[in-house]
Amino acid sequence: MPHDFLIFDFGTNEEVAQQARHKVEGWTQGFRLGKKMLLKFEREAADDSAKPAVVHKKKSATKSDAAEPGGNVRVLVRLDFSEHEKLSLQRWLDRIPTEEPFKSAKAEIIRQGQPGFTAAAELFDSLS
């Protein structure tokens, strides 16, 4: 089944990233999406070393689980709709980046077959 990824870079704004998580969880419950829409966090610790340590969290993360203040937060959303749900997939791809918590983040949409898809899929799978 094809996947599409939306990657949002919230910079150091953990609060807005948590609002985005809450919004996705609401959509998942409200529209009964199940595992068609999954969200995971990628957090980089804020340290001055040449290669920052990466802390991985998934959607159950809370503010108490957050990385150090000042760390970079990226939210990865995987849309996993079947072939006969192309219209629903396109509507979500159009809707999510225009919603409030996501508008302020730098967005990247990676569709299957595009350059960077394999790297995004591996990153999403590596996050726990």
Average pLDDT, the chain: 86
- The number of folded domains in the chain is 1
Residue 48: per-residue pLDDT: 53
Residue 46: per-residue pLDDT: 72
Residue 128: per-residue pLDDT: 78
Residue 64: per-residue pLDDT: 44
- Most confident region among 12-21, 44-53, 57-66 by mean pLDDT: 12-21
User: Confidence class of residue 71 from pLDDT cuts 50, 70 and 90?
Assistant: confident
**What one-character-per-residue DSSP string does 84-121 give?**
GGHHHHHHHHHHGGGSHHHHTSEEEEE-TTSTTHHHHH
Print the domain residue range for 27.
4-110+117-126
